[in-house]
């Protein structure tokens, strides 16, 4: 089996638990998830099956959308309600106008410090392991991209927001930093990942409906992993070239805005390869070739 699976992760289980549940139903099939959700979080968790596990990094590149609830007037060592929460009220709660006036500071490319309890590595260890051992770790800011922030509902202390962002963004850190700017702190109380690229919560398969049959029905073609890239539909001969590691000259020139990485798909809407467009010669050179059970001996 090869494909992608959109699972609706419930609260209280890890992303690894979901992968194990899928693997138990597909003996001998390699499985992996494309982006961790903490046990507190729910929503879209993309599972890659078989040879599609090579596409995990492609799925992770795709834009994400979250709906999160923050509780103002509180702080915690985990930046959410699972940690040691300390009350930090203000004399007067911030208004919605005050909150919205600060949101532009989080828009675009920003430097964000990950939470102390995160999977970021320092000194060869995960930050959460060091934090659990009582160590305070200085985590360096990381460049992340936030393309949208919207207040959905606000009644102090509860603030509900929709967040559109790129890979590597910590939603907990957004709430923490917003709370710091307001002077009252904030902790995340819930998080729903509503979208990863073309994968939406509306079409996600609930974990309690997971069976071998529903997996087969819900499996999505591998081309969805590269939906954020320009696509080129190849001929059988061009597909054969790529699967043997050969570049080929395209029959038509690429538009100026479609240079760089190109996803090549076949007539069955399967991803054949991610290629690099060589503008000087109008060639596509293979960079990641998706090998399937029908061509296990072929190399990139």
* Residues 161-206: tens digit of each pLDDT: 999 999 999 999 999 999 999 999 999 999 999 999 999 999 999 9
pLDDT at 47: 98
Structural domains in the chain, CATH included, are 3-62+198-221 (3.30.2350.10), 64-195 (3.30.2350.10), 229-289 (2.30.130.10)
Is the pLDDT at 208 greater than 70? The verdict is yes
Q: What is the pLDDT of residues 87-124, one digit of tens each?
A: 988 889 999 999 999 999 999 999 999 887 666 666 66
* pTM for the model: 0.89
Q: Which residues pair with 277 in a beta bridge?
A: 284
Give percent of the chain above pLDDT 70.
Answer: 88
- The average confidence (pLDDT) of the chain is 90
Sheet of strand 271-278: strand arrangement: 231-233, 261-265, 271-278, 283-289, 248-249
Check residue 132 and give its pLDDT: 64
Percent over 90 (pLDDT), the chain: 78
Enumerate the active-site residues: 38
**Which class for 144: exposed (0-12), middle (13-18), buried (19 or more C-beta within 10 A)?**
buried
What is the Cα Rg of the chain in Å?
A: 22
Report the alpha-carbon distance of residue 28 to residue 289 in Å, rounded. Answer: 22
């Amino acid at each position: 089996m090869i494909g992608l699976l959109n699972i609706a992760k419930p609260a209280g289980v890890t992303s690894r638990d979901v992968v194990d549940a899928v693997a138990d139903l597909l003996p001998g099939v390699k499985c992996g998830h494309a982006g961790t959700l903490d046990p507190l979080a729910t929503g879209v968790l993309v599972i890659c099956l078989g040879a599609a596990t090579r596409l995990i990094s492609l799925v992770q590149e795709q834009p994400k959308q979250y709906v999160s609830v923050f509780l103002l007037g509180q702080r915690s060592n985990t930046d959410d309600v699972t940690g040691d929460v300390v009350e930090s009220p203000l004399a007067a709660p911030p208004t919605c106008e005050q909150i919205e006036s600060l949101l532009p500071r989080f828009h675009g490319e920003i430097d964000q410090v990950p939470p102390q309890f995160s999977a970021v590595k320092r000194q060869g260890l995960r930050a959460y392991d060091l934090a659990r051992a009582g160590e305070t770790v200085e985590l360096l800011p990381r460049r992340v991209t936030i393309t949208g922030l919207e207040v959905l509902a606000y009644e102090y202390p509860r603030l509900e927001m929709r967040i559109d962002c790129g890979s590597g963004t910590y939603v907990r850190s957004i709430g923490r930093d917003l709370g710091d700017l307001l002077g009252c702190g904030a902790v995340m109380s819930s998080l729903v990942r509503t979208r990863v690229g073309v994968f939406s919560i509306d079409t996600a398969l609930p974990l309690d409906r997971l069976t071998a049959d529903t997996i087969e029905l819900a499996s999505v073609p591998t081309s969805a992993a590269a939906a954020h890239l320009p696509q080129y539909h190849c001929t059988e001969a061009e597909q054969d070239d790529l699967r043997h590691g050969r570049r080929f000259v395209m029959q038509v020139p690429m538009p100026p805005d479609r240079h760089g990485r190109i996803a090549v798909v076949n007539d069955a809407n399967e991803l054949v390869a991610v290629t690099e467009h060589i503008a000087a010669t109008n060639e596509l050179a293979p960079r990641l070739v998706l090998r399937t059970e029908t061509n296990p001996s072929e190399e990139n």
